[in-house]
Amino acid sequence: MANVGEMSGDRSFSRRSILLGGSAVAAAAVGVAERTHRAQAQQPARQRPPNILFMLVDNLGYGELGVYGGGATRGAPTPRIDRLASEGLRLTNMNMEAQCTPSRSAILTGRYAIRSGTHSVPFGGVADGLTQWEVTLAESLSAAGYATALNGKWHLGSHNGRLPNDQGFDEWYGIPRITDEAMWPGSPGYSPNIMPPEQIMEGRKGEPSRDVKIYDLEQRRLIDAEITRRSIAFMERQARTKKPFFAYATLTQPHLPTLPNPAFVGKTGNGDWADMLAEMDHNVGEMLDAVDRLGIRDETIVIFASDNGPEFLRDWEGWAGPWKGQYFTAWEGGIRVPFLIRWPGKVPAGRVSDEIVHAVDLFPTLAKFAGAEVPKDRPIDGVDQSDFFTGKTEKSARDGILIWCADRLQAVKWKNFKVHFYQQETMVSPPVKLAIPLLFNLYTNPREDQDKQITDSWIFGPVLKMVGEFEASTKKYPLIAMGTPDPYVPPGARP
């Protein structure tokens, strides 16, 4: 048996090893779309599915926004985002995966990224992206009659066949990979003959995507304003057609290099980072204003979230507020993020909850709201949180999560307790397997200090039950290895 750290080779593993070592789909989609369109045509407009505006920012720490203890204390108030928080539900225990690629995969598939071959940020031009076998939230919503668009960062595939317009989005504009590649063109010794620069791209469903321009430092400063502009234009077009829409605005700030738009340079007097925060708040406000101007506020679900914890590298270091750590680690600061959701008349305003929610829950929850389908032919780790979000219950539909760092099951959270099987201080620190796992009570030890460990070993019972259930699912549905090419067919399935 292989341990968790060896999962990219032998995909079988056990609970004991964790402690001790650490085109049928397309046809179905068409059928769903036809049935949904017929049903929607018979519904009065007020009963049609809600629009969805999902604003996902990149590497924003838990403590950066005013409503989470930041804002002015970080050099720039965030009044528009703070107001959004007061108009719906604010979560204080929203968990993402620890890196950009896996968190975006989890949001769109409802599955832990370890299942999908997307457990790590791909570096150095290696094979990357979701296989076409995966069904995304955009594909499900599209089959349910939604217009879909992604404007911003993708990070789930770099080439035609694995870009947003290949995974359910009618249109897209943005960058396929990571923002720090904008630094390449101006770097000493860089040559595009050795490593081609990242391109800003755009594409439409059914057509190859095309390169628009090189993503350099000038474009890095300009791109979020363009993402905002295009997201608003998409919502305007759909509002005229009365068709429900999914506008996925994946802003690139504050990912390094954290450089504000020229219109915001010097605006706060507190440096680039604060100017960027002011720009982010402005862009969010522009999209919220568009929803109001179009008269669709009451029929639009608005979500604001970060994809993982804050930046680690200086001079762009972020802040996780009361939590320890940054992204690429299993500390609370690496996974616990801001999350706001507004849906007037459905999601009670002014509500704050510390109940556990995970990125994988967003697919089944939004699908429920939209009347869309969730795949039934594969493990879905997400749970439907619609009753919790709408206030029908005060309790989350889950009480724990698995925390993956790359292909390692690094920790598990259950209620207010947390078990670490590996110790890794920062993103550049080597992960060390622990002979005896670390055990914390996050209520009494939110910083996860080792000298405040608890000895309540009974907690391993529910924790290992969660691990065991995941293990059992991998025997029937093996994990997809990173870099798996298309076409992918699960073992035992008909090609």
Strand partners, 2: none
Verify cis geometry, omega within 30 degrees of 0, for the bond prior to 407. no
With a CB cutoff of 8 Å and minimum separation 6, the contacts of 40 are 48, 49, 145
Q: Are strands 171-175 and 300-306 parallel, antiparallel or unpaired?
A: unpaired
Contact (Cβ atoms closer than 8 angstroms) between residue 287 and residue 38: no
Rounded CA separation 314/312 (Å) = 7
Of 119, 155, 282, 420, which one is the catalytic site residue?
A: 155
With a CB cutoff of 8 Å and minimum separation 6, the contacts of 352 are 89, 90, 91, 92
Contact (Cβ atoms closer than 8 angstroms) between residue 263 and residue 222: no
Contact (Cβ atoms closer than 8 angstroms) between residue 396 and residue 75: no
pLDDT at 187: 95
**Residue 495 corresponds to which tokens in the numbers above?**
């090609």
Q: Please tell me what DSSP assigns to residue 159.
A: S
17 phi and psi angles, rounded to 5 deg: -65, -30
pTM given for the model: 0.90
**Residue 278 corresponds to which tokens in the numbers above?**
């002011």
**Residue 361 corresponds to which tokens in the numbers above?**
């829950």
Instruction: Give the Cβ contact number of residue 438 at 10 Å.
Output: 16
pLDDT at 45: 45
Q: Are strands 89-95 and 351-353 parallel, antiparallel or unpaired?
A: parallel
DSSP letters, 319-368, are --TTS---TTSSSHHHHEEEEEEE-TTTS-TTEEE---EEGGGHHHHHHH
Rounded CA separation 389/3 (Å) = 37
Rounded CA separation 420/330 (Å) = 8
Contact (Cβ atoms closer than 8 angstroms) between residue 220 and residue 227: no
Domains of the chain in sequence order: 4-22+401-476 (3.30.1120), 50-183+195-400 (3.40.720.10)
420: annotated active-site residue: no
Handedness of CA 375, 113, 68, 83 (dihedral sign): negative
Backbone Cα Rg of the chain: 22
Which ranges in 197-306 belong to alpha helices (H)? Answer: 217-241, 272-293
Contact (Cβ atoms closer than 8 angstroms) between residue 101 and residue 404: no
Rounded CA separation 354/90 (Å) = 9
pLDDT at 313: 83
Contact (Cβ atoms closer than 8 angstroms) between residue 405 and residue 330: yes
Contact (Cβ atoms closer than 8 angstroms) between residue 60 and residue 322: no
How many angstroms separate the Cα of 2 from the Cα of each of 16, 101, 229, 434? 10, 25, 49, 16
With a CB cutoff of 8 Å and minimum separation 6, the contacts of 233 are none
Rounded CA separation 404/390 (Å) = 29
**Residue 185 corresponds to which tokens in the numbers above?**
């063109």
**Residue 283 corresponds to which tokens in the numbers above?**
């862009």
405: annotated active-site residue: no
Instruction: Residue 182: name the closest of 222, 150, 143 by CA.
Output: 222
pLDDT at 125: 60
Rounded CA separation 300/6 (Å) = 44
Which residue ranges in the chain fall short of pLDDT 70? 1-46, 124-126, 493-495
pLDDT at 42: 44
234-252 confidence digits (pLDDT tens): 999 999 999 999 999 999 9
Rounded CA separation 306/317 (Å) = 15
**C-alpha of 320 from chain center:** 17
**Tokens 């926004």 found at:** 65
pLDDT at 270: 97
Contact (Cβ atoms closer than 8 angstroms) between residue 462 and residue 414: yes
With a CB cutoff of 8 Å and minimum separation 6, the contacts of 132 are 161, 162, 166, 167, 486, 487, 488
